[in-house]
Amino acid sequence: MLFAVALLTLVSFLSLGSAYSDLSDDTLKNLPGPGDDFDIHKGSILAPILRTRVSGTEGNRAVRQHFIDFFKSQLPEWRIELHNSTSTTPVSGGKEVPFVNLIATRDPPGSFEGDVSRLALVAHYDSKYTPKGFIGAIDSAAPCAMIMHVARSIDAALTKKWAASDGDDFDVEHKGVQILLLDGEEAFRSWTDTDSLYGARALAGDWESTFHTAASIYRTPLDSIELFLLLDLLGSAQPRVPSYFKTTHWAYKHMANAEDRLRKLGVMKSSPNHAANMVKRENKKPRAEPYFLPEGSKADNAFMGGFVQDDHVPFMARGVEILHIIPTPFPRVWHEITDDGEHLDMDTVEDWTKLVMAFAAEWMELEGFFDFTAGKRGETTKSEL
C-alpha cells in the first residue's frame, strides 16, 4: 500500500514537468528580434564571440568573460557558475589544458535547488584549433548568441509569471531554465572519444555524482534536466534538422508546430514568402516554405537511430533526454575557414532565435506575461487604450 502511494506520487511529479502551452498569434508576432545586437562587427551580443576562442587560450577566456559580463549586467537574477576541469590534448605536449563550462540558472524564487526541473539550452563556445584563424560562426558563436538573446527576452516574463503565482501551482513553482555554454567540444587533432567533448564529458561525469539533499525530488543536477536542447551548426541558409530521437519526438513536434505557426504568421524573415522578400521578386506566387524542422509528422517506426556525435553524448549516456537541433547535411562552411561572420545568413540566424524563443516561452508557459512595449522606447503604444 505504502509503496503504491509513493509510486503514485512519483508518477504525478514526473508528469508535471512536461507541461507546455502554445503562445497566442499576437505574442508570436511580437517576439523581439535581436536588432543591432547581432551585428557581426559591433553587435553587443554576437560580435565579441566572433573571434578565435580555442580552449585554454586568451580568446577563450575573453569570450567567457563576455558571457559573464552579459549575465551580470543584463540578467542579474541568473545564478552563474563556472565548472572547471583539465585534460591533456593530442597537441598540448603533455600539459594540462583548462576547460571551463559556464552554467547560468534561473529558478523560481524560493524554490529548493533539488526540486526544480529545468529546460537546458546548450551550445559550445570553444572554437576549433585548425584551420588557423578559424572563427566558427555557426560552430557555435551564433547558437551562443541566440541563447543569450532568448534568455534576455524571456527573463522579464519569467519574473512576472512567478510574481503572479499564488504558490499553489506546483508546476510553476518548480520549473526553471538553465543555460550551458560548454568548452572543449572540438577535437584538437581528429575526433575520438578522448579528443572531443572535453567540457561536456567532465560536466556530465561530475553532475552524475553531485547529489541534492536527500528529500529532493531530483537526485542530481542531471536528473533536474527535463530536456537538454542542444543547438549546433546553426546560421547557414536553408537548414534541415531531422528529428533524431524517438523519446523526444514530442518536443521536436512542439518546436515544429511553433515553426509552422511563425511561418503562417509571416514572421520568418528567411522565408521566400516573407513580405520583404516578396517585394524583391517578380512572380508573386507563394513558394513552398523551406521548413527548418520538416519531420513533425515522422512516424514512430521511421526512427533509424542515426545521430550526430556532439555535446549531448555524455549526458544522453546518463539518461538525460535530448533534443538535438543540428542540420543534416551539415552546412557547407562546416570546419572551413569560411565559417565566419560574413558567411552567416542573418535572416536564418534571426529566425532560429525566434523559434527557440517561442519554444522556450511555450515550455515555460509564458503566454500573457510578455510586455512588448517595455523595451521599445519612443513608441507610444498603450495597451490600456
Longest dimension (CA), the chain: 72
C-alpha cell at 103: 552554467
Contact between 310 and Zn ion per CB under 5 A: no
Quick one: what does residue 100 bind among Zn ion, ligand NAG, none, with the CB cut-off 5 to 8 Å set by partner type?
ligand NAG
The residue among 105 and 236 lying less far from ligand NAG, judged by its C-beta, is: 105
Active site residue ranges: 185, 232
CB 323 within 8 A of CB 228: yes
Residue 216's φ and ψ, nearest 5 degrees, are: -65, 155
Query: Considering CB distances under 5 to 8 angstroms, the limit depending on partner class, which of ligand NAG, Zn ion, none binds residue 82?
Result: ligand NAG
Instruction: List alpha helices for the chain, DSSP H.
Output: 2-16, 25-30, 58-74, 142-164, 170-173, 198-208, 249-264, 275-278, 313-316, 346-363
At 241, give phi and psi (nearest 5°). Answer: -110, 115
CA distance 131 to 133: 6
Q: Is 355 left (phi over 0), alpha (psi -120 to 50) or beta?
A: alpha
For Zn ion, the closer CB: 91 or 276: 91
- Partner whose footprint covers residue 139, from ligand NAG, Zn ion, none (CB < 5 to 8 Å by kind): Zn ion
Instruction: For the CB of residue 330, give the shortest distance to Zn ion in the complex, in Å.
Output: 9
Q: Which lies closer to ligand NAG via its Cβ, residue 46 or residue 100?
A: 100
Shortest Å, Cβ 81 to ligand NAG: 8
**Min CB(364)–ligand NAG separation in Å:** 29
SS3 87: strand
Closest CB 305 distance from ligand NAG, rounded Å: 37
CB 177 within 8 A of CB 380: no
Cα separation, 30 vs 19, whole angstroms: 23
- Of residues 135 and 217, the one with the C-beta less far from Zn ion: 135
What residues line the site for ligand NAG (CB under 6 A)?
Answer: 82, 84, 98, 100
Binding site partner of 208, from ligand NAG, Zn ion, none, Cβ cut-off 5-8 A by kind: none
Q: How far is the CB of 326 from Zn ion (least distance, A)?
A: 10
Shortest gap between Cβ of 186 and Zn ion (angstroms)?
5
272 binds, among Zn ion, ligand NAG, none (CB under 5 to 8 A by kind): none
SS3 182: strand
Q: Which among 87-95, 137-145, 251-259, 270-278 is the span making contact with Zn ion, rule CB under 5 A?
A: 137-145
Number of residue whose CB is nearest ligand NAG: 84
Whether the CB-CB separation of 262 and 155 falls below 8 Å is answered with no
126 belongs to the binding site for Zn ion (CB under 5 A)? no
Q: Is 100 or 121 the residue whose CB approaches ligand NAG more closely?
A: 100
Could you say which of 107, 115, 126, 139 contacts Zn ion (CB under 5 A)?
139
**123 or 267: CB nearest Zn ion:** 123
Alpha carbons 215 and 193: distance in angstroms, whole number: 36
Q: Which residues contact 262 (CB under 8 A, 6 or more apart)?
A: 28, 268, 351, 354, 355, 358
Between strands 117-124 and 225-231, the pairing is: parallel
The Cα 47–Cα 35 span in angstroms is 13
Chain contacts with Zn ion (rule: CB under 5 A): 139
